[in-house]
Amino acid sequence: MGRIGNIIDRKNKQDSKKAKIYTKLARLITVAARQGGGDPEYNATLKTAIDKAKAANMPNDNIDRAIKKGTGEAGGDNFEHITYEGYGPNGVAVIVEVLTDNRNRTAGDVRHAFDKNGGNLGTSGCVSFMFERKGQILLENDDSIDEDSLMMTAIEAGAEDFLPDEEAFEIITTPEDFNTVKEVLEGEGYTFLNADIVQIPSTTASLEGDDVKKMNKLIDMLEDNDDVQEVHHNWNQEE
């Protein structure tokens, strides 16, 4: 399975855990609304969070309730965003983004996941220099899409790069241009396999044998934690 296939496979696994995903997305929406207001037209972070929720088929009532918690119309916990950095098996670089109402609990849980699976939690900045934050849009590569037309539309809308693959077309943007490019493509009738702000590694690491099992277990343990929003790593899963 290639890199794109692994991204899609992991998304499908996440989608199979709907209740847990809805909990994470509601938290993301609440924090975005609290920090930038409840109108997605004027709050790009909230719009991205709502789009992610809709892509996961989260009910509108859940979305509205999460926004109201963020704007103070309904009670809500005070979540904070924290980024942890560390190393998985064989030195694989890992970034863990969380939203938590108890940083001591979350730090302990994240540290435990690393320790249990051949890794260790590092200090802030220890691996983030290996990653670049980018917008990533994936579309299935099938006969319904004309590659040249898609590429021109994406580039003209502000995309930085267009990467065709046997399984999917990958469009890369700056975080700032992500929503604009996404909206232009949606307006042209394109549908996405996935669209999100991600951490793209500049270098990759390889794993073999038991280290592969440990890395998969580390990712699963982190993603099963309600506080964890995103897990990024530089493991080259194509090998």
Q: In the Cβ-directed half-sphere of 178, how many Cα atoms lie within 13 Å?
A: 22
Neighbour count for residue 179 (Cβ, 10 Å): 19
Q: What whole-number percentage of the chain has pLDDT above 70?
A: 90
Q: What does the radius of gyration of the chain's CA atoms come to, in whole angstroms? A: 18
Q: What is the pLDDT of residue 142?
A: 87
Q: What is the pLDDT of residues 90-128, one digit of tens each?
A: 999 999 999 999 999 999 999 999 999 999 999 999 999
**Per-residue pLDDT for 238 more than 90?**
no
Phi-psi bin for 227: left (phi > 0), alpha (psi -120 to 50), beta? Answer: alpha
Confidence of residue 2 (pLDDT cuts 50, 70, 90): low
Query: What confidence category does residue 26 fall into, taking pLDDT thresholds of 50, 70 and 90?
Result: very high
pLDDT at 166: 85
For the ranges 139-143, 205-209, 216-220, the lowest mean pLDDT is seen at 139-143
| Segment 163-189 mean pLDDT | 94
**Which domains does the chain possess?**
3-71 (1.10.10.200), 80-129+202-233 (3.30.70.980), 131-200 (3.30.70.980)
pLDDT given at position 73: 76
- Could you tell me the pTM of the whole model? 0.84
Annotate 60-91 with three-state secondary structure: HHHHHHHHHHHHCCCCCCCCEEEEEEEECHHH
Position 16 pLDDT exceeds 80: no
pLDDT digits (tens, 9 = 90+) for 32-59: 999 999 999 999 899 999 999 998 899 9
66-89 residue pLDDT tens: 999 998 876 666 889 999 999 999
pLDDT confidence of 170, banded at 50, 70, 90? very high
Q: Is the pLDDT of residue 7 over 70?
A: no
CA distances from 213 to 6, 102, 104, 116, 194 (A): 15, 30, 28, 12, 25
pLDDT, average across residues 147-158: 96
Instruction: Give the pLDDT score at 143.
Output: 83
